[in-house]
Structure formats: C-alpha cells, structure tokens
Structure 1
Amino acid sequence: MTHDHSWHSMTPSGQGTVMLNIGNGIGALIINTPGRMHGREIEVSPVDDPARRTHAAVRARYVRGGVCFSVVLDSLPEGRYTVWDNPVTPLGEVEVPSGGVAEFHWPATVAAA
C-alpha cells in the first residue's frame, strides 16, 4: 500500500497570499499562536464529531509592524469547533460563523508539543 503525502512549505506568508473560501454556510478560523509554535500542525474538529478533524501548520505571517504566527483554516462549515492541544486533549472551543472569520488565541501558558 502506498500513501501520497503533501508537504507544507514553512516559508513565511507574504502580503496578499491568503485567500479564504467563505460564504453562505461556510466560514474560516484563524488561530493565533506564540512564535515558538512555528511549523506545528494544529487540529480542529466539529464539537459534535471529534473524529472529523482538519489541520494546518502554524506559519509566519508578515503584517504591518512585524510578524505574527497563525494557522488559517477556511472552507469550514459554520458551527462550533474544538481546537486540540494534542490528539487527545481539547484546548478550547470557538464558533465559526457563516460567511465570516473567527479567531482563537492560543494561550501563552500552553507548552508547544
């Protein structure tokens, strides 16, 4: 059995390089993290279906005044999502709106895995 893997580039995201697929019934989630988490994959799942997860890597994003580190997840059906600290530990919940963008701030006190 063979598996196809796609590898993420951890190069910084430049200005205007993120496009979001949002609209009627579909939203996006931005998870802001400490810089020490650069490259780490973060998973989210619908609160009522923890096995259905999606993930993305923390990347450097250059903004006015410096750099921030975040995960951008789009094309999420509107609803309540769990943000996972690791495969078995939920960190928090966030509501993803229809046609909008939700934000979640990773607690500075949570260690990077």
Structure 2
Amino acid sequence: MHHSHPPLPAPSREGTVVLEIGGDLGALVIHTGPELDGVEIEVSPAGRDHARTHAAVRPRHLGDRTVHCVVISPLRSGEYTVWRNRVTVETTVTVRPGQVAELRMGAERL
C-alpha cells in the first residue's frame, strides 16, 4: 500500500485481540515469519479486487513464544482473495460465519 499510518502499537499479548465474529461475520488470521513484521497484507472479497482491506503483520506474545501474524476482523462470510502484492494473487481463503480462517504466508512469496 502507498499511504501512511501511525506507528504500529506494541506487540499484542494473550487476550488483547478482540475478534468480531458471529452471525454472518468471521475473521482471518494469516501467519507469517518475523521478517514480515510491519508489512501490510491485503484481502478482498473474491471477484471484487478493488474492494480491499489490509492489516499489518505484528508480533503476538503468546505465553513463552512470539508469533507474527495479521488479524483481519470482521469479514463477512465468503471467499476472499489474499494478495501477494498489489497485482499478484497469493491464494484464496474461505471465511465461514462465526469462525476464524487461518493460513500461512512466507516472505519468499512476497
């Protein structure tokens, strides 16, 4: 993305991420490696390439380990395109109502 944001907040800890799921809403978690810390990942409803939303990869402290991921919530249930960059599709994912969809994405794919 080519726009600015305020600095990212400090890493999340257990219980600090709130997901708005239920009814027709779900969420998407994209797991990455630490090399993607701060990188924005975009998703769009399938077939609506210009209706994108994005979030930045952030570290999440979970007990004795740290994971890096993007959390996008809420998303209406349905098929979503995950973008590798502004023009290249990485994959598609299904977001189901009341559930959290998960996938892994590595830096070698960006």
Same fold judged by TM-score > 0.5? Answer: yes
Q: Is the 8 A contact 1:96 1:102 kept in 2?
A: yes
Q: Which structure is larger by alpha-carbon Rg, 1 or 2?
A: 1
* Structure 1 residue runs without a partner (length 5+): none
Q: Distance in 1 between matches of 2:76 and 2:47?
A: 13
For structure 2, which runs of at least 5 residues remain unmatched after alignment?
Answer: none
| Cα shift at 1:6 | 4.8
Three-state SS of the structure 2 residue aligned to 1:86 is: coil
Distance (Å, rounded) in 2 between the aligned partners of 1:22 and 1:87 = 27
Aligned length: 107
Distance (whole Å) between structure 1 residues aligned to residue 74 and residue 32 of structure 2: 21
Structure 1-normalised TM-score? 0.87
TM-score (norm 2): 0.90
For residues 86 and 105 of structure 1, the distance between their equivalents in structure 2, rounded to whole angstroms, comes to 15
RMSD: 1.5
SS in 2 for 1:109: helix
The residue that corresponds to 1:26 in the other structure is 25
Q: Match for 1:110: what amino acid?
A: R
Q: 2-side partners of 1:92 and 1:55: how far apart?
A: 15
Take 1:54 and 1:80, find their aligned partners in 2: how far apart are those partners?
14
How far apart are residue 65 of structure 1 and its match? 3.4
1:101 paired residue number: 100
Cα pair 1:10 1:39 within 8 Å, conserved = no
Shift of 1:108: 5.4
